[in-house]
Amino acid sequence: MTTLSERQQTAQTLARSIGAMEGAWVVSPLPLDASKRLRFQVLDGDKNRVLQQLHDWNWEPKFVSILPRVTFAGMAAGSVYEIDIPQPRQDIVDGRTIPKDEIVSRKPPSAEVEGMKKYLGLK
């Protein structure tokens, strides 16, 4: 068994919390792929409560589509949402250096440039 990344562990914990709520189901396969978002489905009757709880936990669910859900009471209207769990940031090492022979030193402008500036009225 491979170890889960921090993002996958966060997704698994969040999926467990969403699955514990009444009227909500996680529909994304776990462990979550690096390029995927965590998708879950919520019954319309429980939507406000579930979305409010996720907002209280500082998550931003985005609406995806409306799909029916089969329940014990028959077909029920449900909405699919997804949460983008941020990827870990990679530190970028700045290995760029400017060699000393490429640094341009300021030279006084030539007589030709001075003459052009005078002709154009810039001086």
Cα distance between residue 90 and residue 119, in whole Å: 54
3-class SS letters over 71-105: ECCEEEEEEEEEECCCCCCCCCCCCCCCCHHHCCC
Q: How confident is the model at residue 89 (pLDDT cuts 50, 70, 90)?
A: confident
Model confidence at 41: pLDDT above 80: yes
Question: Tokens standing for 115?
Answer: 């003459």
To which residue do tokens 């090492």 refer? 93
Query: Which of 87, 88, 67 lies closest to 78 in space, CA to CA?
Result: 67
Compute the average pLDDT of residues 65-84.
Answer: 91
The residue ranking higher by pLDDT, 25 or 73, is 25
Q: How confident is the model at residue 1 (pLDDT cuts 50, 70, 90)?
A: low
Model confidence at 72: pLDDT above 70: yes
